Structure 1
Amino acid sequence: MGSAGPVTDAMITVRGANKRYGDFAALDDVDFEVPAGSLTALLGPSGSGKSTLLRAIAGLDQPDTGTITINGRDVTNVPPQKRGIGFVFQHYAAFKHLTVRENVAFGLKIRKRPKAEITEKVDNLLEVVGLAGFQTRYPNQLSGGQRQRMALARALAVSPEVLLLDEPFGALDAKVREDLRAWLRRLHDEVHVTTVLVTHDQQEALDVADRIAVLNKGRIEQVGAPGDVYDTPANAFVMSFLGAVSALNGALVRPHDIRVGRTPEMAVATSDDSVQATGVTRARVDRIVMLGFEVRVELTNAATATPFTAQITRGDAEALGLKEGDTVYVRATRVPSLPDGVTVESLTNPRPA
């Protein structure tokens, strides 16, 4: 459901992949393609199948049925070490007794590459990942973020055709994660290796990837560019998983697409002559939460007594002078077009079990 058409320049192709553990379907007839040179995020909740799909591509898990192709070569039955991949896990197991330089060089040494080649490549990679000057340190002398950058350098050292990242920043604190997301995007733009990133963090996927595949219950719900998946979701599940959702007058809308005003006229954008005030709804302010430069306003629809949330700028909140208990008027400025038959109720049950 919601998957993209065939990718003509696919580096990775998965066809008809199924994987069951007893009655649990980890992968349910998955067709999936990754374009060469792309950074594709596998996004979904726990148990959605994203890590199983990544491990199947890596050769660490064998699908019950289906085929996996990397760069035109069927690798379904090929062992991991012969697939031309680099793999980085959330908890990177560095060799504690080896220095940063020796850790990064490890894969090249076991491949018996010439010493001069190893030295040049390791030095270049440490420069690229921002660890020049750390060559002689040991893993326990690095921060968590530095260890993950060392892990990426080690994975890239063997010139893999594909780089697979299984929640590589999941064990790090929020600020380090944010910094590493930006760093990973810059790194990918420099090295252009085809990369697949598993994450359950929607912001991480939107920040880093140029394509997102949203998984749920072992199936791929939608594949597309971040903006397309966010703005034109294939169904209620994709919409709800890619960000906060409010139910307003029977429609699913993003909280940041709700305009709040003191009067019905204020809830209508003056720049949009086509908008009529008939779409305006009266609501009560229940709670105001400051979120840095944004403000979350928790409201109750006066007509239906149902709660919903709007997200506005701090400047707008201050201009409106909002207080708990106030009456305001709201209107959705944008309502994503979902397939026919999708209702607000389907938000919590997008597909029958």
Structure 2
Amino acid sequence: MITVTGARKNYGDFAALDDVDIEIPSGSLTALLGPSGSGKSTLLRSIAGLETLDDGIVRIGGDDVTGVTPQKRDIGFVFQHYAAFKHMTVRENVAFGLKIRKRPKTEIGRRVDELLGIVGLDGFQQRYPAQLSGGQRQRMALARALAVDPKVLLLDEPFGALDAKVRADLRTWLRRLHDEVHVTTVLVTHDQEEALDVADRIAVMNRGRIEQVGTPRDLYDRPANDFVMSFLGNVSRLNGKLVRPHDIRLGREPDLARAQDAGTAGSVGVTRATVERVVHLGFEVRVELRNAATGEDFTAQVTRGDARALGLAPGETVYARATEEPALPETTRVPIG
């Protein structure tokens, strides 16, 4: 388990970490999610020992490592930009940490072959980093971090420099890898889809503080405040209420927009709106609308079948109603950034 208590870190007048407490269970994959400047990378680097806290305690496996050097914390660290040794082969890169620790050659060979098989690079042993794709280089970096059998694996936006298709493939691969090796993993990301897809638990950060920690489903269905709701998935504001675009029902007549079941939609009511734009996104359709009463823009997400049945087109009038509205606490306004 990783435990951080009362963590504070200031850069001049800027509070990168403001009294942060968090527990990361052993064997979990926890995502630190938040906008730029929220403190997620500072928290990760503080766990690694790459940043010195102004105040607070970091424990790994019950041991206080606050004053321990990074080399003695028994961690693996993977950055966004993989720091590969260009003059070394894949095998030599992965074996580097084991050689530094003076492990027997037979053990090094066995461990490197095992890891290259796990990360899907079996057969690439004699290639150099320049001969690999970006995704392959990042998998090599993960194999190198895992080679020394660390207690903790720390990933600082490891897929941020890759294109969308490669990122999606590597997310799936990382989840499978974690299920196989079960090393306690902390992933920093600003990508909500990545966090929802990969993590067991998500800690949402904002302005150096943790707003909420929980499972992806808990945070999505029961956000602690409007910041968490806004950051963890798309939102629309309908008559002053935050709702998910996929929870907005559209109809040509007011009665057709009404929810099929009561839910909590009674407090939102039916709103007349003008269609501003219809965007086809493959399996779904995003409908950009303007509230006829307030002039406020909002977005609904409907199926292709519903969009076709409604015959949606810019300039036309429709009626909208929320079919579900998250029960946010009374005091939920949290500044962003």
Q: Is the shorter-chain TM-score for this pair beyond 0.5, marking a shared fold?
A: yes
- Displacement, 1:279? 2.0
- Displacement, 1:282? 1.3
Matched, 1:317 2:307: yes
Equivalenced residues, count: 336
**Equivalent position SS for 1:140:** helix
**Equivalent position SS for 1:266:** helix
Q: What RMSD in Å do the two structures reach over aligned CA positions?
A: 1.5
Partner AA of 1:209 in structure 2:
A
Equivalent residue for 2:29, pick from 39, 53, 61: 39
Matched, 1:327 2:322: no
CA distance in 2, matches of 1:273, 1:75: 53
8 Å CA contact 1:91–1:171 kept in 2: the answer is yes
8 Å CA contact 2:77–2:145 kept in 1: the answer is yes
Superposed CA deviations along residues 93-147 of structure 1, whole A, max 9, x for unmatched, are 1011111011101111111111111111111100000000101100000000000
Partner of 1:5: none
After TM superposition, the score normalised by the length of structure 1 is 0.92
- Judged with a 3 Å threshold, the aligned counterparts in structure 2 of structure 1 residues 215 and 322 are, in CA distance, closer, same or farther, namely same
- Displacement, 1:273? 6.0
Partner AA of 1:284 in structure 2:
T
- Displacement, 1:268? 2.4
Matched, 1:117 2:107: yes
What does 1:180-219 correspond to in 2, within 5 Å? 180-219=170-209
CA distance in 2, matches of 1:269, 1:334: 9
What does 1:31-70 correspond to in 2, within 5 Å? 31-70=21-60
**Equivalent position SS for 1:319:** helix
Superposed CA deviations along residues 169-214 of structure 1, whole A, max 9, x for unmatched, are 0000010000000000010001000000000111000100010000
Matched, 1:108 2:98: yes
Partner AA of 1:161 in structure 2:
K
Identity value in percent: 76
- Displacement, 1:341? 3.5
Which runs of 5 or more structure 2 residues have no equivalent in the other structure? none
8 Å CA contact 2:153–2:186 kept in 1: the answer is yes
Equivalent residue for 1:138, pick from 121, 128, 144: 128
Equivalent residue for 1:296, pick from 283, 286, 302: 286
Equivalent residue for 1:251, pick from 241, 254, 269: 241
CA distance in 1, matches of 2:336, 2:86: 48
Partner AA of 2:311 in structure 1:
G
Segments of 4+ moved more than 3 angstroms? 273-278
**Equivalent position SS for 2:186:** strand
- Displacement, 1:57? 0.1
CA distance in 1, matches of 2:84, 2:262: 61
What does 1:241-280 correspond to in 2, within 5 Å? 241-270=231-260, 272=261, 279-280=269-270
- Displacement, 1:269? 3.9
Which runs of 5 or more structure 1 residues have no equivalent in the other structure? 1-10
Partner AA of 1:282 in structure 2:
R
Deviates more, 1:80-89 or 1:259-268: 259-268
